[in-house]
Copies of this chain bind each other. A is one copy, B any other.
Amino acid sequence: MTLADKTCIPCRGGVPPLTANEAAVFGREVPAWACTHGATLIERRFRFADFAAALAFVNEVGALAEEEGHHPDIAVGWGYANIAMQTHKIKGLHENDFIMAAKIDAIAAATG
């Protein structure tokens, strides 16, 4: 089963965040995402033709976030959207973040 086929499971905290090594294993399935901030966050920048295309993509990501109950931090403007994923309750990375990354990659591939 690929990450994109999985569903985020509610994370109420109380579990340790992924280690950098563990994150690197999940990261192999979403190589376009950078693991940053001491392996507490993954992010990817997407490029678009203009502002409207970037915002349309952000809305698709937003709909996914509502479905999965897991919400990214997004920077969006003319021609770009930067999506950052972290599991805030554990101040670090969880498999859920990589599941979201894989599903966001799928959105980008479908709309790109």
Residues of A in contact with B (beta carbons under 8 Å apart): 51-52, 55, 58-59, 62, 65-66, 71-78, 88
Known: A52-B66, A74-B74, A74-B76. 7 other contacts (CB 8 A): A55-B58, A73-B75, A73-B76, A73-B77, A74-B77, A75-B75, A78-B88
From B52, B55, B72, contact of A77 by CB (8 A): B72
User: Whole-angstrom distance between the alpha carbons of A74 and B55 in the complex?
Assistant: 10
Report B-chain residues with C-beta under 8 Å of the C-beta of A76.
58, 73-74, 76
Is there an interface contact between A51 and B62, defined as CB atoms closer than 8 Å?
yes
Task: List the 3 closest A-B pairs by CB distance, nearest first.
Answer: A73-B77, A51-B71, A55-B62
